[in-house]
């Protein structure tokens, strides 16, 4: 029963954080493009993501003719639940996450991969050409970024000698984050995660000017609200994963004197920094072509990720000596 | 450390939360059939599906499962765990890879 209450409370909290992340991201991108960004809803537009969500939730619910209504109801709920559930494995508030067991990192890789597969499915259950093309493009992108993503997630596990996120975080307790041992792994993870959350320059599956929003084009109302929420939660997951695996989680100065509250403060500062980098890339870059994206991932990222994997094995060997 | 049931319960809790949230969204009455557009985007042409191969979706699903299995094996080797479980897992996935396209 307590776990159910925790799950409810954490789900609400993660939604709040995902809105906050969206606000930060929109503000940064707006500043880069000489705009003000969200402004009217709440102080400095802080409540704009919430207002957008509520607006979509209250809009007319349209299911295109020929689409599977049942699947279009189940998949958004499942996607948002999965995106929240994976966040519960990451120690954001204290060094011990809500859920932890040996090899939970593998579980996270599997769950986040199933999110990708569900997105591909969404595009195909809508009978629109744009939607189908968007799904096919996301499928190609998904196959391209998953190998560098999975390998760069495995690198901290190899270096720390454990596939448990809590153990990887504890490994960085001494003040040396894993990015020091594997900087290439961090860069690969960050690039793969930008593709995973479909941000510019890897937003080929949405590409509004080419395919009018891709796999999302036929979605409206609460379904679109849930898909957008999932994307925000995934961005939060991406940033939190980078912080937990490579940037020393919530460990930093003053932790001993100020206690565990400082852990969260450090985690949050690092999280904002990762979001800042993602937004910066989004703001200054243009969308790549499909062939360019595939070339980047298959020709450069995949071999580099295997190189990083070999280097990580060497690092582990040196640590254990 | 948590048990399998704790994890399942947490996921069910999350699922219930989002199901409630989803159904809290207004479901306005749908338009009359003749007024209904085939697409949300407002296009008036008939709905049509681009021909695609179902094997492609199988491939995407199996790829994600296989990739997880590979990482499972890599980590099991590097951490010196027993290789029995990953081997069974990889074997089952290989069987799935062979069966899926046939079906």
Q: ipTM of the assembly?
A: 0.81
Q: What is the full DSSP assignment across A21-80?
A: HHHHHHHHHHHHTT---S-SSSGGGTTHHHHHHHHHHTS-----TTS-HHHHHHHHHHHH
The low-confidence residues of chain A, meaning pLDDT below 70, are 254-259
What burial letters (b/e) apply to A14-28, b meaning 16+ CB within 10 Å? bbebbbbbbbbbbbb
Query: Do B99 and B93 form a contact (C-beta atoms < 8 A)?
Result: no
Domain positions in chain A are: 61-320
Asked if the Cβ–Cβ distance from A128 to B68 is below 8 Å, we say no
Closest CA to A84 of A142, A169, A21, A13: A13
How many interface pairs between A and B have CB atoms less than 8 angstroms apart? 184
- Residue A81 has its nearest CB partner, among B15, B25, B48, at B15
Q: What's the alpha-carbon Rg for chain B, to the nearest Å?
A: 22
Peptide bond into A193 cis (omega under 30): no
Rounded Cα–Cα distance for residues A113 and A75 (Å): 14
Q: pLDDT digits over B17-69, tens only?
A: 888 888 887 666 555 555 555 555 555 555 555 666 666 666 666 676 666 66
**CB burial class (10 A; 0-12, 13-18, 19+) of residue B35?**
exposed
Alpha-helical segments (H) within A247-320: 255-258, 260-284, 290-295, 302-320
**Which of A52, A54, A101, A215 best tests the B interface by mutation, with the highest count of B CBs <10 A?**
A101
- Cβ contacts of A64 on chain B, cutoff 8 Å: 37-40, 47
The yes-or-no verdict on residue B103 having pLDDT over 50 is: no
CB-facing half-sphere around the CA of A275: CA atoms within 13 A: 26
Q: pLDDT digits over A251-308, tens only?
A: 877 666 666 777 888 888 999 999 999 989 888 888 888 888 888 888 888 888 888 8
Show the tokens assigned to B65.
């499962």
A78 close contact with B: CB closer than 8 A: yes
Looking at residue A240, what is its pLDDT? 92
Rounded Cα–Cα distance for residues A76 and A73 (Å): 6
DSSP state of B49: -
Rounded Cα–Cα distance for residues A176 and B6 (Å): 33
Looking at residue B68, what is its pLDDT? 67
Looking at residue A135, what is its pLDDT? 81
Phi-psi region of A254 (alpha: psi -120 to 50; beta: other; left: phi over 0): left
DSSP helix/strand/coil, A111: helix
Q: How far is CA A120 from the centre of its chain?
A: 17
Query: Do A38 and A26 form a contact (C-beta atoms < 8 A)?
Result: yes
Looking at residue A277, what is its pLDDT? 92
DSSP helix/strand/coil, A290: helix
**Nearest residue of B to residue A121 by CA position?**
B57
Query: Do A236 and A13 form a contact (C-beta atoms < 8 A)?
Result: no
**Nearest residue of A to residue B12 by CA position?**
A4
Show the tokens assigned to A112.
């986040």
């Amino acid at each position: 029963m307590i776990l159910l209450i925790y799950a409810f409370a954490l789900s609400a909290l993660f939604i709040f954080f995902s809105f906050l992340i969206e606000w930060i991201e929109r503000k940064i991108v707006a500043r880069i493009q000489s705009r003000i960004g969200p402004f009217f809803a709440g102080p400095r537009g802080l409540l704009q993501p919430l207002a957008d969500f509520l607006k979509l939730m209250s809009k007319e619910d349209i299911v295109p003719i020929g689409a599977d209504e049942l699947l279009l109801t189940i998949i958004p709920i499942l996607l948002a639940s999965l995106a929240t559930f994976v966040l519960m494995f990451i120690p954001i508030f204290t060094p011990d996450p809500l859920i932890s067991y040996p090899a939970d990192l593998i579980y996270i890789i599997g769950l986040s991969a199933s999110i990708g597969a569900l997105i591909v499915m969404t595009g195909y259950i809508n009978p629109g050409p744009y939607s189908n093309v968007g799904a096919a493009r996301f499928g190609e992108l998904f196959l391209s970024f998953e190998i560098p993503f999975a390998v760069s997630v495995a690198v901290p596990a190899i270096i720390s000698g454990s596939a448990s996120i809590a153990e990887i975080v504890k490994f960085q307790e001494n003040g040396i984050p894993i990015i020091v041992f594997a900087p290439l792994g961090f860069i690969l993870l960050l690039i793969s995660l930008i593709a995973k959350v479909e941000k510019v320059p890897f937003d080929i599956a949405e590409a509004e000017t080419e395919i009018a929003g891709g796999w999302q084009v036929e979605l409206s109302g609460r379904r679109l609200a849930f898909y957008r929420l999932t994307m925000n939660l995934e961005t939060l997951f991406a940033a939190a994963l980078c912080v937990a695996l490579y940037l020393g989680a919530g460990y930093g100065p003053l932790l001993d004197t100020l206690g565990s509250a400082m852990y969260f403060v450090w985690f949050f500062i690092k999280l904002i920094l990762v979001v800042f980098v993602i937004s910066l890339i989004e703001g200054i870059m243009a969308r790549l072509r499909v062939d360019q994206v595939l070339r980047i991932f298959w020709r450069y990222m995949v071999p580099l990720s295997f190189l990083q994997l070999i280097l990580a094995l060497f690092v582990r060997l040196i640590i254990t000596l | 450390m948590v048990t399998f049931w704790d994890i399942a319960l947490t996921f069910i809790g999350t699922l219930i939360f989002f199901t409630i949230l989803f159904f809290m969204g207004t479901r306005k009455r749908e338009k009359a059939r003749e007024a209904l557009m085939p697409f949300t985007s407002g296009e008036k042409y008939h709905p049509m599906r681009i021909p695609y191969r179902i094997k492609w979706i199988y491939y995407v699903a199996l790829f994600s499962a296989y990739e997880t299995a590979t990482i499972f094996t890599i980590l099991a080797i590097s951490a010196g765990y027993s290789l029995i479980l990953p081997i069974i897992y990889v074997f089952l996935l290989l069987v799935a890879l062979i069966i899926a396209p046939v079906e």
